[in-house]
Amino acid sequence: MLKIVHMTVNGTWRELAVDERESLLDTLRNRLGLTSVKKGCEVGECGACTVLVDGEAVDSCIYLTMWAEGRSIMTVEGLKGPNGELSPIQKAFVEEAAVQCGFCTPGLIMSAVEIVGTGKKYNRDELRKLISGHLCRCTGYEKILDAMERIVEEVYRTVNEEQT
């Protein structure tokens, strides 16, 4: 049965008719065309479908769209600047060669947004734990961690400069 759900998607307030049995993953990909959200395992193991719900990273494959009522959803599409430029996190991934086939990348970028948003500094081991909900079959993770380290460091520095 179709039901009406309201949510903010990448900053835009939306009213959508969805099937109550739908995952947020299917709604974002099939109804809104947000194909940065990847469908991998569909059981919460791989993190390819990671999006932010009210700022927190969740696996959208095991998140019911009905739960998004009144909430704010963010995907990689929502990161691009006014002239289509990449966000600093995306740039770090590109420049550190953290992307190979790219299937895991959008999910990791969204986790990075959550991690960086805390404004805290994390060491490599802590970052390893913070990205443990993502599987990457290509890079061996080292380059991803390089990108994460760099962006966490950059943001931490900017935040502290602003404060002093």
Partner 1 sequence: MFDIQSFYEAKSVEDAIRALSQDEKAQVISGGTDVLIRVREGKDAGCSLVSIQKIPELKGVELTDSGDIKIGAATAFSHITNDPLIQKYLPMLGEAADTVGGPQIRNVATIGGNICNGATSADSASTMWTLDAELVLEGPEGERIVPISQFYTGPGRTVRDRREICKYFLIRKENFEGWHGVYKKYGKRRAMEIATLGCAVRVKLSEDKTRIEDGRLGYGVAGPTPLRCRKAEAVLKGSRVGDMEAVERFVETALTEVNPRSSWRASKEFRIQLIGELARRALKEAVERGGGIMNA
Ligand X SMILES: Cc1cc2nc3c(=O)[nH]c(=O)nc-3n(C[C@H](O)[C@H](O)[C@H](O)COP(=O)(O)OP(=O)(O)OC[C@H]3O[C@@H](n4cnc5c(N)ncnc54)[C@H](O)[C@@H]3O)c2cc1C
Q: Which one of partner 1, ligand X, ligand FES, none is in contact with 100 (Cβ closer than 5 to 8 A by kind)?
A: ligand FES
Q: How many CB atoms lie within 10 A of CB 102?
A: 12
Contacts of 137 (CB under 8 A, 6+ apart): 101, 103, 104
Q: Are 119 and 156 in contact (CB under 8 A)?
A: yes
User: Is residue 53 involved in binding ligand FES (CB under 6 A)?
Assistant: no
* Cα 69-28-102 angle, rounded to 5 deg: 135
Check if the beta carbon of residue 116 is closer than 8 Å to that of residue 89. Answer: yes
The listed partner (ligand X, partner 1, ligand FES, none) that binds 86, CB under 5 to 8 Å by sort, is none
- Smallest separation (angstroms) from ligand X to the CB of 45: 5
User: Rule CB under 6 A: is residue 114 a binding residue for ligand X?
Assistant: no
Residue with smaller CB distance to ligand X, 47 or 78 = 47
CA gap 24, 97 in Å, rounded: 30
Does residue number 6 form part of the binding site for partner 1 (CB under 8 A)? no
In whole angstroms, the minimum distance from the beta carbon of 9 to ligand X comes to 24
Contact 52, 89 (CB under 8 A): no
Our finding on whether 138 is near ligand FES (CB under 6 A) is yes
Stretch that binds ligand FES, among 4-12, 77-85, 96-104, 123-131 (CB under 6 A): 96-104
Write the single-letter amino acid at 156: Y
Among 11, 13, 15, 43, binds partner 1 (CB under 8 A): 43
Cα 46 from chain centre: 13
Residues making contact with ligand X (CB under 6 A)? 44-45
Residues that bind ligand FES (CB under 6 A): 39-42, 44-49, 59, 61, 99-104, 136-139
